[in-house]
Structure 1
Amino acid sequence: METENLSLMSDSEKMFELAEQLRVLREQKEAAEQQLRELSAKIDETDYRLSELMAESETQNFTRGGVMFYLVTKTRASAVAGCKEDLFATLRREGYGELVTETVNANSLSSFVKEQIEENEDTLPGWLSGLVNVFEKTSVGVRKASK
C-alpha cells in the first residue's frame, strides 16, 4: 500500500485497507510456517536416509557439487519424564550443580506481573522494581467471524 493512497482515504477506508493487509499477511505467514514445517520434515527424513546409507556403506564422507557431506554423531540427553527434580538434585549432590539453571516462562511472568500491578493500585510493587521490564504492546486480534 502506497503512502500517497493512504493520505487520500478516509479513516474508515484506511482502517479497512490496513485490516485487509493484516489478514493477508497473517495468512501468508501461516502458509509459510506450514511450508517450513513440511520442509523441515523432508530435511529430517532425507538426512536420516542419507546417514543410514552412508553408515551401511561405511562411507565417512564424500564430496558432491563442491559440498562435502560427512557423518556426524552427536549424543543427546534429556531428563526422564517426572524425574527432572531428582536429576537436578543428583547433579548438585555429585558436584555438577553448575549445569542446573532456573528459568521462568515469559508468559507466566507477564501474567504474574500484570496481576501484581492490578493488586497494587496499577503500579509495579517496589519489590519487583528494577527486576522486571514492563511494557504494553497493542496489536490487532484477528479471528474468523461467527456466522
Structure 2
Amino acid sequence: MDSEKMFEMADRLRGLRDEKAEVEKRLKEINGEIDETDFRLSELMAETETQNFTRAGMMFCLTSKTRASAMAGRKEELFAALRGEGFGDLVYETVNANSLSAFVKEQIEENGDVLPEWLDGLVNVFEKTSVSLRKAAK
C-alpha cells in the first residue's frame, strides 16, 4: 500500500471520527432540548387539563410513567430484599465489558500468555486491531 493511499485513508478516518464527535455532541444537545420541551408541554397540558390534542396529523397525549431506581449505595440491599420476597428474577448481575476485557488481559499476562483454565469456556477472547488517533507532539 503506498503512503499516498494510506494518508488518504488516515485523513478519511480522522474526518469521520471528528464528524461522529460533532454529531454525538449535537445529539446530546437535541436530547436536552427534547427533555426540556417535553417537560414544558406536559406541564402546560396538565395546567390546562388537556389530556390529548391533535396537531398537524399527530396526536399528543399526556401520559404518566412510574420509574424507580435503587437508592444510592443500597443496590445490594434492594437485590437481597427482592430475592427475599420471591422477586429474584428481577435481579440481573452484569459485568462491564471494558472491565472484563482488562481483567482477562491481565489474567492472560499473569498466566504465561495463556487464558487461565478456570476462565476457559467462560469467556470469548479475541484481538481487535484498529487505528487510534491522538494529537502529534509539536
Asked if 1:26 is matched to 2:26, the reply is no
Percent pairwise identity: 71
Q: Among residues 80, 97, 108, which one is paired with 1:117 in the alignment?
A: 108
d(CA) in 2 for partners of 1:78 and 1:146?
45
What secondary structure, in the 3-state scheme, does the structure 1 residue paired with 2:59 have? strand
Q: Deviation at 1:40?
A: 0.7
Instruction: Supply the AA of the counterpart residue of 1:108.
Output: S
Amino acid at match of 1:135: F
Q: Root-mean-square deviation (CA), in Å?
A: 1.2
What residue in structure 2 maps to residue 80 of structure 1?
Answer: 71
Q: 1:145 corresponds to which letter in structure 2?
A: A
Structure 1 segments, 4+ long, off by >2 Å, are none
- Find out whether 1:49 has 2:43 as its counterpart: no
2:25 is paired with a residue whose SS is helix
Task: Summarize the alignment of residues 1-147 of structure 1 with structure 2, pairs less than 5 Å apart.
Answer: 11-147=2-138
Q: Secondary structure at the match of 2:44?
A: helix
- What is the rounded CA distance, in whole Å, between the counterparts of 1:88 and 1:116 in structure 2? 29
How far off is 1:120 after superposition? 2.1
Relative to the length of structure 2, the TM-score reads: 0.94
Q: CA deviation at 1:89?
A: 1.3
Kindly tell me the number of residue pairs found equivalent between the two proteins: 138
Runs of at least 5 residues in structure 1 that lack an aligned partner in the other structure: 1-9
Which residue identity lines up with residue 139 of structure 1 in the other structure? S
Alpha-carbon distance, 1:126 to partner: 2.2
Q: Which runs of 5+ in 2 are unaligned?
A: none
- Aligned residue for 2:63, secondary structure, equals coil
